[in-house]
A and B are shown apart, each in its own frame.
Chain A
Amino acid sequence: MKRLRKRLALFLKYGTLASTLGLITATLIQIYARFYMENAPSWTEEAARFFFIYAMAFGAGLAMKDNYYVQFDVLFNRFTKKTRLWINRIVLLLTLFLFLLLALYGFHFVIQGLPEHSPSLGVPMSIAFSSMVVMGLSVSYFAGLQLLKTFKKPNN
């Protein structure tokens, strides 16, 4: 389990870094082409968008792992420790449910995108749509882990 968690975190980390590098490179080619080439390629904007969506999909899981999502905790802090623990569990369960549904219906979305192709790059849109499955699975995985942790180490 520990090894799987490490490998998934590494996969998301390198996925985020590679997609970011792709986004930067595609945008730089776009700038270069506009200034120095007679016919600027049309694929750069599309490629940058695809890389961006993947960077965000990979990053969403890491953001869940490291608690980057903004919360409103004024009322929460007034509850007792035990109540806070149970609220935390319910919230994580709901998060798990929400993102599992995103992954599941994201898969339907991917299938729907199989016949479609992007206008400039000509790649199947299902590749871009798969980012929603990645986002759903990665966030739900880390939500699930955090939920398990609340049972294993309730004092943390």
Chain B
Amino acid sequence: MIWALLLVFVICLLLRVPIAFALGLSCLGYLFWKGIPLIVVPMKMYSGIDVFVLLSIPGFILAGNLMNHGGLTAKIIAFCNHLMGHIRGGLALANIGASMLFAGISGTAVSDTASIGSVMIPAMKKEGYGTGFSCAITAASSTVGPIIPPSVPMIIAATLSGLSVGRLFLAGAIPGFLLGFGLMGITYYISVKRKYPKHPKSSLGQIARGFLDTFWSLLMTFIILFGIIGGVFTPTEASIVAVIYALIIGMFVYRKLSFKNILVIVLDSMKTSASLMVLVGFANLFGWILITEQLPQLISTEIMAFSHNKYVVLLLINVLLIFVGTFMETIAALLVLFPILLKVALAVEVDPIHFAVIALLNLIIGLTTPPLGICLFVSSSIGKVSIGTVSREGAPFLAVSLIVLILVTLFPQLSLYLPGIFMD
């Protein structure tokens, strides 16, 4: 019966049923078939959403949108361009740098591709970079966002596993920067080879002005992070403090927010959050059915029957997650698969924090893996170039991401070092 449930889910996805509703409909089919009272639908949805840590998600989304409304994307890009523009392929490097800085504000890869891509791809094309290359680097660099804290998928992983949000945020920092700097390395190599342009060196004054322009928004990331890690705020409180901070900065420093603007931004953020929470609610029901059907135990037994070796098990999980990540939205995939695979990882004595970083890294790499990676689609539609061209140009970036994944999988300290230093 469990396979019928999964089959209905996949068919619904292919028929363009929204992912959240696909989960709900497949659950409904299962409940009808098994004769289980349908009151479990609202019960499980309610209990899935009624989790205190989840309250931080609309807060972070709202704070990010309020900040972004002040033209933050352009300011971050300008600052990175001042810093790196004089290096060969400077604008491409600035693209990655902007994603690393923007990470703390957007928190999701697809929104990062869309917001940075809409500014960067036309600018790169204008300077003579290949369109495919511009789209590929934008898609690849946007995957750094959900790894570098604060990150919405990390909050979801914490909710699903009972892990500390602060620890997970810290665990993602080194892998995130490793990925960002790895992408910068390969970009520089390609830029030198193709003789991509470089700008005259910016003066210290220009760099300082660029820094001041972005300082207030970057400070928000530090307030959130150190507030949570230092035990000053819970993640939910930190998100609301970030909202108030973003409101003050947007109204009195950037002077871009009016009362009317704020209402539109609040509504937009709440619609985005609500679409996520409907997904969380149905995923809770879906997860309950999987547990009732003992699927986690089944998968765990099958994998353990294949091998007890920790690295073989992690390799299998990596392959599965990248595959799923290519066609499924990160949070949806995390909601469905993370609790199941965490049990398998724990059975081979993988640290849960380490595993959460591996799982997230896999899923975001899936976003740029051809032929279906969602970020590839978003960037190719902005650059008006075929997905095949973007995929070909993106191959070196994908290779770097996979190398980082292998390093993070093999060396747990890359994820566990910072939580150990700051939180033990």
Contact = CB atoms under 8 A, between A and B. Distances in A.
Contact of A62 (B14, B19, B274): B274
Interface in A26-42: 27-28, 30-31
B42 interface: yes
B271 A31 contact: no
Interface of B: 12-21, 24-25, 28, 38-39, 41-43, 45-46, 49-50, 52, 54-55, 58-59, 62, 233, 236-237, 240-241, 243-244, 263, 266-267, 270-275, 277-279, 327-329, 332, 372, 377
A109 B59 CA distance: 28
A52 B267 contact: no
A91 interface: yes
Contacts of A98: 21, 24-25, 28
Chain B at the A interface: SS class: helix
B74 to A, nearest CB: 25
Contact of B327 (A52, A72, A129, A136): A72
B278 A60 contact: yes
Interface residues of A, number: 56
A91 B15 contact: yes
Contacts of A20: 58, 62, 266, 270
Contacts, number: 169
Contacts of A28: 240, 244
B16 A87 contact: yes
A16 to B, nearest CB: 5
Nearest to A112: B39
A115 B42 CA distance: 18
A68 B275 contact: yes
B271 A129 contact: no
A60 B275 contact: yes
Given A53-B50, A59-B274, 7 more contacts: A28-B240, A52-B55, A56-B49, A71-B19, A74-B372, A101-B38, A102-B41
Contacts of B20: 69-70
A80 B167 CA distance: 49
Interface string A102-120: 1011101100100000000
